[in-house]
Amino acid sequence: MFGKSKKSKGRRTAGRGASRTRRKDSGGRTAVRGRKKAAGQGSGRGRFFTRWQAVAVAAVLVAFLGWMAWRSDYVQMRFVYMWPYQREIVTYSQKNRVDPFLVAAVIKNESRFKPGAVSGVGAIGLMQIMPDTGGWIAKQMGLKNYELQSLYNPETNIRMGCWYLSELHHEFKGNLILLMIAYNAGRGNTHAWMEANGWDYDFGDIARIPYADTRHYVAKVMQDRDEYYRLYKDKISQ
């Protein structure tokens, strides 16, 4: 009886050991599944970041290509540095010995090539000539049948504006900075600033122009003049 009982007890003990082994095995499988799940989540995050990195690179590439296209000569000439009335500008700039690229830049900044433009102070037409100045120019040029409405005519406005630029070119001894200051702020103001600030006819420091609007205007016109030259120098006959 006692021997039999001991044998059964041994079997029960072995059974508990096997159960513990199974529990251990079960725990091991759970750990493996946990590691696989964690690995799967890490892989998913990796794919997520890779996808967004690809999108970011594509966006940068598209932006760069767009910028390159925008900076192309064709696009700049088509949308930024247009040149309507080129024939009239070249013709009258040559007759008056002024830079046609400068004339184009002046018109771009003054009126955006709109012949009907009128400023808040009353300047008229492509080159924004003031009525009093227009009357004086017409008299100096000996223009017959001139009237205020003549300034709305593109060819007349360009003809008179080129003559006036030539006059300023002579007055300020070929200094384009002083010439453009005078065109924007007036001849009187330009001479006053020259005297007050000790400028001579070699003056070239746009940053020293005391009036902000004129300073910005002169800088922009000179920049645009250089761009017109770069884009059109081989496309027009001078």
> What values do phi and psi take at 97, rounded to 5?
55, 50
Nearby residues of 78 by Cβ (< 8 Å), 6 or more positions away: none
Confidence of residue 236 (pLDDT cuts 50, 70, 90): confident
- For the chain, give every domain's residue range: 2-71, 82-232
Q: Which of 65-74, 77-86, 155-164 has the lowest mean pLDDT?
A: 65-74
| Residue 165 contacts residue 106 (beta carbons within 8 Å) | yes
pLDDT of residue 52: 74
In percent, the amount of the chain with pLDDT more than 70 equals 71
Burial class (CB within 10 angstroms; exposed 0-12, middle 13-18, buried 19+) of 35? exposed
- What pLDDT, on a 0 to 100 scale, did the predictor assign at position 3? 47
- Separation of alpha carbons 131 and 188, rounded Å: 17
DSSP string, 207-228: GG-SSHHHHHHHHHHHHHHHHH
Judged against a pLDDT cut of 60, whether residue 171 lies above it is answered with yes
- What is the structure's pLDDT at 53? 72
9 compared with 87, residue with greater pLDDT: 87
pTM of the complete model: 0.73
Per-residue pLDDT tens for 190-226? 999 999 999 999 999 999 999 999 999 999 999 999 9
Q: Could you tell me if 171 and 187 are in contact, meaning their C-beta atoms sit under 8 angstroms apart?
A: yes
Query: Rounded to 5 degrees, what are φ and ψ at 230?
Result: -60, -40
The catalytic site residues sit at 110
pLDDT at 10: 46
pLDDT band at residue 50 using 50, 70 and 90 as cut-offs: confident
Q: Return the amino acid letter for 72.
A: S
Q: How many whole angstroms separate alpha carbon 167 and alpha carbon 177?
A: 14
Q: Give yes or no for residue 12 having a pLDDT over 80.
A: no
Give 43 or 130, the one with higher predicted confidence. Answer: 130
Residue 183: CB atoms within 10 A of its CB come to: 23
For 82-232, the fitting CATH number among 3.40.50.620, 1.10.530.10, 3.20.20.10, 1.10.600.10 is 1.10.530.10
- pLDDT, tens digit, for every residue of 109-139? 999 999 999 999 999 999 999 999 999 999 9
Tell me: pLDDT of 13 over 50. no
User: For 163, what's the count of Cα atoms within 13 Å in the CB-facing half-sphere?
Assistant: 17
What integer is the mean pLDDT of 157-166?
98
On average, the pLDDT of the chain sits at: 84
| Amino acid in the structure at residue 7 | K
